[in-house]
Amino acid sequence: MTHETVRLYGACRRAAAIDALGRSAVRRAVESGQWCAAWPGVLIEASRAAEPLTVIAAALRYAGPDALVTGRTAAHLHGCTAVPPLPVHLLVPYGHWLRARAGLVAHNGRPADEDRDEVAGLPSLRLEPVLSDLLCRDRPQDALAVLDQALGLAGDAGREGLRRRIGDELARRADPRGRRRATRLLELGTGRAESPPESWMLFHLVDVGFPAPEVNWSFDDRDGRQIFRLDLAWPEYRIALEYDGYLAHLGREGADRTRQAALERSGWIVVRAGTDDLGSLYRVECALDEAFRRRGLVLRRRPGVLRGQRHREKAG
């Protein structure tokens, strides 16, 4: 294809391809498997069919010039990869013909001109309204993970400015549903989480009633020099939760044991979590409950959370 027809990451309208190359050439390319149909009237290069940007570009070609990328898909374009960008989420005006179908989620709305952006050459909502919507509507643990990434990308200098702008977006929302939850999540986000599982665990633990921990807290020596950082920490109680992600800790088992021994010599209680705990944090909850009891703090947590979890695990 010519540059003009493939400029959106290998996605084009079938009609544009026919105009550029001729009907016979397009038919041969489809029959040979070089190109494939993404949605009616839209072709993509088969070798790029699994690339998110190609799929997003194809969805925009299908929906037409009034569509904007929104939701999780827009978060991905803005560099927040904590949640999958597919299916493609598009925002179209009220009365638009687009409807949800396999691989595509349609949202209706009328964004202000200042809320429109272009990211990686694709029309999208600005980051702040995207985050505002996710905090109000998406799964809270996923929304927090995306928020943490966005705050992290903003850096120390831009973090609080971004938080204020998101807060302004929440205050301006015409639909008040989810605003209270979103405000709570906005306060909880730190931008210091180094992986989405850390954000997921932070949300879950605070949601069931544990005190909000410090994220990636600096453990320093007597001279104030950082020795290492703790994933989640309650410094006033000398309790730490360390997440052993598979890839990040592969081959570091010895260093992790040395690090834990140093913490315990300093009077800390260390609870470890791994990838196997992400499906159920019941074991981690119990270990943290015991740690806080040893520090003299009996937590009043959300009724029925542990009991319900214990019942489900026994039933399984």
Q: Which of 155, 129, 21 is nearest to 69 (CA)?
A: 129
| 186, 205: one domain | no
| 311, 215: one domain | yes
Residue 54 placed within a domain: no
| 68, 185: one domain | yes
| 211, 306: one domain | yes
Residue 223 placed within a domain: yes
| 98, 7: one domain | no
| 181, 204: one domain | no
pLDDT in tens, 143-202: 999 999 999 999 999 999 999 999 999 999 988 899 999 999 999 999 999 899 999 999
Residue 269's CB is within 10 A of a number of other CB atoms, namely: 19
Contact 135, 188 (CB under 8 A): no
Q: What is the 3-state secondary structure (H, E, C) of 247-270?
A: HHHCCCHHHHHHHHHHHHHCCCEE
Residue 57 placed within a domain: no
**DSSP state letter for 102:** T
**DSSP state letter for 143:** H
Residue 156 placed within a domain: yes
Query: What is the torsional sign of CA 143, 149, 152, 157?
Result: negative
6-20, 72-86, 110-124, 238-252 — which is least confidently predicted? Answer: 238-252
Mean pLDDT of 252-262: 77
Residue 59 placed within a domain: no
pLDDT in tens, 283-294: 999 999 999 999
pLDDT in tens, 126-140: 999 999 999 999 999
Mean pLDDT of 47-68: 96
pTM given for the model: 0.86
Domain containing 181: what range? 64-190
pLDDT in tens, 97-109: 999 999 999 999 9
Residue where a domain stops, chosen among 163, 190, 217: 190
**Mean pLDDT value across the chain:** 89
CATH number at residue 229: 3.40.960
> CA 290 to CA 141: how far, in whole Å?
24
The C-alpha R_g of the chain, in whole angstroms, comes to 24
| 69, 181: one domain | yes
How far CA 178 is from CA of 24, 34, 117, 150, 225, in Å, comes to 53, 45, 24, 20, 42
Residue where a domain stops, chosen among 190, 218, 244: 190
User: pLDDT exceeding 70 applies to what percent of the chain?
Assistant: 89
> CA 15 to CA 26: how far, in whole Å?
10
Residue 255 placed within a domain: yes
| 83, 180: one domain | yes
Residue 300 placed within a domain: yes
> CA 312 to CA 184: how far, in whole Å?
28
| 203, 259: one domain | yes
| 185, 69: one domain | yes
| 95, 120: one domain | yes
Query: What is the torsional sign of CA 62, 68, 71, 75?
Result: positive
Residue where a domain stops, chosen among 143, 165, 190: 190
> CA 263 to CA 221: how far, in whole Å?
11
| 38, 77: one domain | no
Give the chain's length: 316
Per-residue pLDDT at 316 exceeds 70: no
Residue 58 placed within a domain: no
Contact 71, 107 (CB under 8 A): yes
Per-residue pLDDT at 309 exceeds 50: no
> In 3-state terms, what secondary structure has residue 197?
helix
DSSP string for 27-69: HHHHHTTSEEESSTTEEEEGGGTT-HHHHHHHHHHHH-TT-EE
> CA 161 to CA 154: how far, in whole Å?
9
Q: Give the chain's domain count.
A: 3
> In 3-state terms, what secondary structure has residue 246?
helix
